[in-house]
Amino acid sequence: MNIRKVIFPVGGLGTRFFPITRVIPKEMLGILEKPLIQYAFEEALGAGIEQFIFVTRHGKTSIEDYCDHVLTHMESFDSSRCSFCYVRQGEPRGLGHAVLCARHLVNREPFAVISADDYISHSSSCIGEMIKHYDGSNMAAVMNVPRKDVNKYGIMEVERENNKTIIARSVDEKPSVEKAKSTHAIVGRYILTHEIFDILENLKPGVENEIQLTDALRQMIPTHGLTGFKFEGKRFDCGSQGGLLEAILHVSSKDEKLSSIIRNFYEDIR
Ligand code: G1P
């Protein structure tokens, strides 16, 4: 199936990176010379997506400037086919609310969502791999996490599982370690059916008093199903200091000069 649109929810506060994120959007933090948002954009562009919708808020205009100055000038960006749209999220009220803010730009077609702070190193494009396997249900990327970490994620309960996919029986947002029904965690890549907007519109705040996308996905399981997609490649939680550091080391280790700098650094501190 052809997926033409992607939503980038970039309206979060980035509290784990205060004070720098008081003036620089979290999505503009760099893995070397490129900001996180560029990796997310390249992933979507590489998957054939044409419309890039940013759900943004005040203090985040450097993302728009970056689109104008850098992303639109990339060689693979075809301005006769591709476009950028920006919609404001007045207050950060959760991922589900951010997605709902873009409703009028999506209309009645399935669409992708990419969280730029989940950087996924992939041989081609994680969202592209998901689009190839898209089955018409709601779909979210999943990976196995240590049980002690389940309370940071949406966690799927398994109905059926095969090589690439999990058919979910249920899904819970940030369950406790004791209550989690598996260790299959959602990471920030989704392909969603447009009917999710009707559900989000009527959803009550959930965990952390936010409108949770996970709660909408759970409600839709009986009608639309929920597929967990086991992607290739490695995910880094760049919303945390440790995750961003690992991502920088991972990307650097692919460059000869930089990997020798890393090696020398470790020899020096030994
Ligand atoms: C969000 C989602 C959660 C998902 C996570 C992946 O949580 O609500 O279901 O597992 O992203 O990164 P957040 O990290 O924004 O609190």
pLDDT digits (tens, 9 = 90+) for 38-62: 999 999 999 999 999 999 999 999 9
> What pLDDT does 1 receive?
76
pLDDT digits (tens, 9 = 90+) for 59-109: 999 999 999 999 999 999 999 999 999 999 998 899 999 999 999 999 899
Q: How far apart are CA 71 and CA 75, in angstroms?
A: 9
Q: For position 113, which CATH number holds?
A: 3.90.550.10
In order along its 270 residues, the chain shows pLDDT tens digits of 789 999 999 999 999 999 999 999 999 999 999 999 999 999 999 999 999 999 999 999 999 999 999 999 999 999 999 999 999 999 889 999 999 999 999 989 999 999 999 999 999 999 999 999 998 999 999 999 999 999 999 999 999 999 999 999 999 999 999 999 999 999 999 999 999 999 999 999 999 999 999 999 999 999 999 999 999 999 999 999 999 999 999 999 999 999 999 999 999 887
Specify the pTM.
0.97
- Cβ–Cβ under 8 Å, residues 207 and 150: no
Residues with CB under 6 A from ligand 1: 95, 115, 118, 153-154, 173, 185-188, 212-214
Sign of CA dihedral 193, 217, 122, 161: negative
Peptide bond into 19 cis (omega under 30): yes
- For the CA of 239, the closest atom of ligand 1 is 14
Q: Annotate 199-221 with b (16+ C-beta within 10 A) or e (fewer).
A: bbeebeebeeebbbbbbbbbbbb
Q: How far apart are CA 45 and CA 4, in angstroms?
A: 10
Q: Report the separation in Å between the CA atom of 255 and the middle of ligand 1, taken as the mean of its atom positions.
A: 31
> What pLDDT does 107 receive?
86
Which residues constitute the domain of residue 112? Answer: 5-269
> What pLDDT does 43 receive?
98
The number of folded domains in the chain is 1
> What pLDDT does 270 receive?
79
Our mutation pick for probing the ligand 1 site, out of 152, 200, 207, 212, counting the most ligand atoms within 8 A of Cβ, is 152
